[in-house]
Structure 1
Amino acid sequence: MEIREAVAGDWAGIWLFQRDIVRAGETYTWPADVTEDVARGMWMAGALPYRTVVAVDGDTVMGTAKMGPNHLGPGSHIGTASFMVSPDHGGKGVGRALGEHVLDQARADGFRAMQFNAVVSTNTVAVKLWQSLGFEIMATLPEAFRHAKKGYVGLHVMFRSLVA
C-alpha cells in the first residue's frame, strides 16, 4: 500500500466507494443524495494548507483522507481530517495507515493538535481506531446524527495534541 497526494485521476476510484458510504447514512454528515460534482468539490483539496491523500495498491484506491485547518485565523493551528475506506478493503489496516499518515503530515505542516468534529458514536471501529492513535472523546453531542438505521445517535468531538 502506498499513501500519496491525490490527483484528479484518482477521483473515479474515490467516488466508487464514497458514494455508497455517504448514501448509507451511517457515518457521514453529508446529504445522502450528494451529487458527484458536489462531493468532488467537498473532498478534493484546493490549495495548501488543504490536502487530499489516497491509499492505493497499484491503480486501486483503497481509501482516502482530506485534511487541513479546523478553523481559520487564530484557530488555524488546530488541524482536522476526514477519512473513507472502501468497504472492499476494510480490516486491512488502510484506516490506520491513513490516520498515521495524516498525523505525521499535520505535524510536518505545523499543526499543534488534531480535532475531529463529528465522529458518529455508533461507528465503533472508527472510535476505537482514533482512540488507539491517541485521540480522546472531548464531548458527545447527544442525538446530533440521524443514523439511517439506528435513529438519533451521538456525535463525538475527538482531540489529540501533536506537541511533544
Structure 2
Amino acid sequence: MTLTIRPATRADDDAVWTMLEPVFRAGDTYAIDPDIPRDDALAYWFGPERRVFLAQDGGEALGTYYMVRNQKGGGSHVCNCGYITAPAARGRGVARAMLAHSLDAAPGFGFRAMQFNFVVSTNSRAIATWEGAGFDIVGRLPGAFRHPQQGYVDALVMFRPLV
C-alpha cells in the first residue's frame, strides 16, 4: 500500500461520505446522530475552520480526518482532530498514518498540543493507537456516551503536547 494524505476538498464529498456514513450510522464511536443526513454530515466534517484531509492509496479513499482549534482565545493553541478509516481499510495502519500526519502538520498551523475531547471508552483500538503515540488520558466522563449495544459508557479526554 502506498498511502498518500492530501487536503480534501468538497469535490471529495462522495468519497468522504462513503467513509462517514457507516461510522455515523453505527453510532458507537462518534457523538453524532446516527440518522444524520448526508449533507448535514458533510457540513459537520467540513465545518468552519476545519482543515480536512483524505488518505488514499492510488485513487481509493481509505481514511479522512479533520483538524480544528479546540477552543478560541486562550485555548486556540490546542487542536482537536477527528479520524475515520474506511471499513475495508481497518487494520492496515491508516489511522496511525493519519495520526502521524496530523501530529506533524499541527505545529505548522500554530498548535502546541492536541486534545481529543470525547473518546468513547469502548473504542479500544483508537485508545491503544492514541496512547501508543504518546497521548495521556487526562479525564474520564462517567456514563457520558450512550452506546447502542453497551448502554452508558465513559468518554475519555486524551491530551498530548506537541512542543
TM-score normalised by structure 1 residue count: 0.95
1:90 and 2:78 are equivalent in the alignment: no
- Cα offset for 1:45? 4.8
For residue 106 of structure 1, what is the aligned residue in structure 2?
Answer: 106
- Provide the rounded CA distance (Å) in 2 between the counterparts of 1:61 and 1:143: 34
Q: Is the 8 A contact 1:45 1:52 kept in 2?
A: no
User: Which deviates the most, 52-61 or 92-101?
Assistant: 52-61
Letter in 2 for 1:4: R
> In the alignment, is residue 76 of structure 1 matched against residue 76 of structure 2?
yes
Which residue identity is paired with 1:57?
Answer: D
Shift of 1:46: 4.2
1:13 maps to which residue?
15
Whether 2:101 is the aligned partner of 1:121: answer: no
Give distance in 1, aligned partners of 2:48 and 2:52. 9
Q: What pairs up with 1:1-164 in 2 under 5 angstroms?
A: 1-47=3-49, 50-163=50-163
- Distance in 1, Cα, partners of 2:114 & 2:67: 10
SS of match in other structure, 1:92: coil
In structure 2, the residue corresponding to 1:101 is in which secondary structure? helix
User: Equivalent pairs: percent with the same residue?
Assistant: 43
CA-based RMSD: 1.0
Query: Secondary structure at the residue paired with 2:110?
Result: coil
Contact 1:145 1:152 in 2 (8 A): yes
Hey, what's the Cα distance between the residues in 2 that align with 1:147 and 1:10?
A: 30
Greater CA drift, 26-35 or 5-14: 5-14
The farther-off stretch of 35-44 and 123-132 is 35-44
Aligned residue pairs, count: 161
Q: Distance in 1 between matches of 2:53 and 2:48?
A: 12
Q: What secondary structure does 2:33 align onto?
A: coil
> TM-score, normalised on structure 2?
0.96
After superposition, what is the alpha-carbon deviation per residue over 1:91-130, rounded to whole angstroms, capped at 9, x for unaligned? Answer: 1110000001011111111211001001100000000000
Cα distance between partner residues in 2 of 1:21 and 1:34: 11
CA distance in 2 between counterparts of 1:46 and 1:135 reads 26
Unaligned runs of 5+ in 2: none
